Amino acid sequence: MSTDDTSDAREQLLSLANQFYEQFDDGTVPSMEVPTRTKTNIEYNEESDVWVYGDRTSTRSAKSIRGAQKLLKATYAIDFLTRQLEEDRSSTLRELYYLSESWDLDEAQFSSQDESNQLIEDLEIVSGVTREDFHMRPEESGATVMGPLKIREQTRRGEREIHCQKDVGEGGYQIPNNPDTIDFLDHDADFVLAVETGGMRDRLVENGFDEEYNALVVHLKGQPARATRRLTKRLHDELDLPVMVFTDGDPWSYRIYGSVTYGSIKSAHLSEYLATPEAEYVGIRPEDIVEYDLPTDPLSDSDVNALESELEDPRFQTEFWEEQIKLQLDIEKKSEQQSLAARGLDFVTDTYLPERLTEMGVL
């Protein structure tokens, strides 16, 4: 799916523009078909073990004013992106949104950043080129890696060789927007531990968990950015490391696990490029709440709705998840990762993780 070649990305965009041109030239109504991006239109791909879009599509057609505006904006965006690629520049999604303000035609301007983001997703899907190859960046990545791994990164300022434990501070190595510019040189790691919250990541680093257990601690920073997911997948695929996901014990965190493992609904077209189907869930599990008698918060109504919706989410249709989610609905409680501190600051590194990871066959 990925195209390293910028000229290829440009070609792809131009061919979409050509398609619109031909449609006008034939006197037909310009249109563009994209998969419907909803929960009901993702299906499991047996071959790649990830969730991808199904057969249902939506048509963006100039027949309606809305559709015509979308296509107009797409045309303007194509114009902008092809020039950006030609000049080997890059920009952020937010910059694209603000840039549209400078377009002389009011109808071509984006009314919100959601709209410009969605348009870029449309273009990715239709052209089969990732936005990284359009040289479009998200605003902030900031996700980090800490652990026994040596890499070489191609930066605009030349190559850099970095050891993700020795050459970095306590903050760790910052994952670049396009992780495909990284080469893995050497490593001493036994597994990858992807951690949701910054507090827990800092606790693990402070307690020296990465050194003690040869772990690559990847900070997910909430719902992980594409770059984080891409790097995680490459660590698994290229270095053959098991990926363990450690999050809070609530429905929103299960979705974080889901997007690492199976891909997200919005980027299902990139699942094969971003998702790590082999990733496993460490916790916090609802059973942990019971077993360790963790401090809890009650489930809110939206939590309950989210859990119920997950029961119907094709990505959570496994015995493990059904059991856990039903248990949580039953006890009506949720816990954060840091609630483990109720048993002492070292409990997570000395007891919880070693026990759980041993149980899961990683240690």
Partner 1 sequence: MTSYQSQLGSGDGIAEELAEGQRAISIAEFFEKNKHMLGFDSGARGLVTAVKEAVDNSLDACEEAAILPDIYVELQDEGDYYRLIVEDNGPGITKEQIPKIFGKLLYGSRFHKREQARGQQGIGISAAVLYSQLTSGKPAKVTSRTQEREDAQYFEVIVDTDENEPEISVEETTTWERPHGTRIELEMEANMRARQQLHDYITHTAVVNPHARIELQEPKAEFKYERATDTLPDETEEIRPHPHGVELGTLIKMGEETDSYSISGFVQEEFTRVGQKTANSIIDSFRDRYFGREMAWRLPQQHEDATVTDVVTDAVVNKGQDATADFAAGITKRLENGDRVAHHQVVEAAEEVGDEVQTAYGTTFGSTVRENAVEAAWDAITAERESDIYTLVDDATTKRKDDAVIQAVTERLAAKFAQGSHHRVTGGDLREYVDRAADMTEERDDGTFGDTARENIVDALWETAKQVPDDPPKIHDVAADRDSASELLDAMRAVDIISPPTGCLAPITEELVEKGLGKEYNADFFAAATRDASVHGGDPFIVEAGIAYGGDIEHEGSAEVLRFANRVPLVYQRGACATTDVVKNINWRNYGLDQPGGSGVPNGPAVIMVHIASTNVPFTSESKDAVANVPEMEDEIELAIREAARELKSFLNKRRSMRQRREKQNKLATILPEMAEKLSSVTDKKELEIDNTMARIMNDVLVTREREGETVRLVVENNDDSNAELEVTDIVDAEPTAVNGANVVKMDDEWFIKWNPTVGASDESVLEYTLTDDANCDIAVDGIEDEKLTVDA
Active-site positions?
98
Closer of 116 and 144 to partner 1 (Cβ):
116
| CB-nearer residue toward partner 1: 58 or 75 | 75
Q: Which is nearer to partner 1, 86 or 359 (CB)?
A: 86
Nearest by Cα to 302 from 231, 250, 265: 250
Helix (H, G, I), strand (E, B) or coil at 172: coil
Whether the Cβ atoms of residue 280 and residue 243 lie closer than 8 Å to each other: yes
| CB nearer partner 1, residue 107 or residue 139 | 107
Minimal distance, residue 357 CB to partner 1, in Å = 53
Q: What are phi and psi of 197, to 5 degrees?
A: -100, 150
Q: What count of residues does the chain have?
A: 363
At its nearest, how many Å lie between partner 1 and the CB of residue 103? 10
Cβ of residue 91: shortest distance to partner 1, in angstroms? 18
> Shortest approach of partner 1 to residue 13 CB, angstroms?
9
**What is the C-alpha to C-alpha distance for residues 273 and 234, in angstroms, rounded to an integer?**
9
Please state the closest distance from residue 243 (CB atom) to partner 1, in A. Answer: 42
**CA 150, 156, 157, 161: dihedral to nearest 10 degrees?**
10
CB of 105 to partner 1, least distance (A): 5
248 marked as binding residue? yes
Q: What's the per-residue H, E or C state across 21-69?
A: HHHHHCCCCCEEEEECCCHHHEEEECCCCEEEECCCEEEEECCCHHHHH
Residue number, 80 or 347, with CB nearest to partner 1:
80
Provide the strand spans (E) within the chain: 31-35, 42-45, 50-53, 57-61, 91-92, 136-137, 144-146, 149-155, 158-163, 173-174, 182-187, 191-195, 215-219, 243-246, 280-283, 297-298, 333-334
CA 323 to chain centre: 26
Is 310 annotated as ligand-binding?
A: no
Positions touching partner 1 (CB under 8 A) are: 14, 17-18, 20-21, 23-25, 27-30, 62-63, 65, 68-69, 71-72, 75-76, 78-79, 82, 105, 107-108
CB 136 within 8 A of CB 93: yes
The smaller minimum CB distance to partner 1, of residues 78 and 306, is found at 78
Residue list for the binding site for Mg(2+): 196, 248
- Residues at the binding site are 196, 248
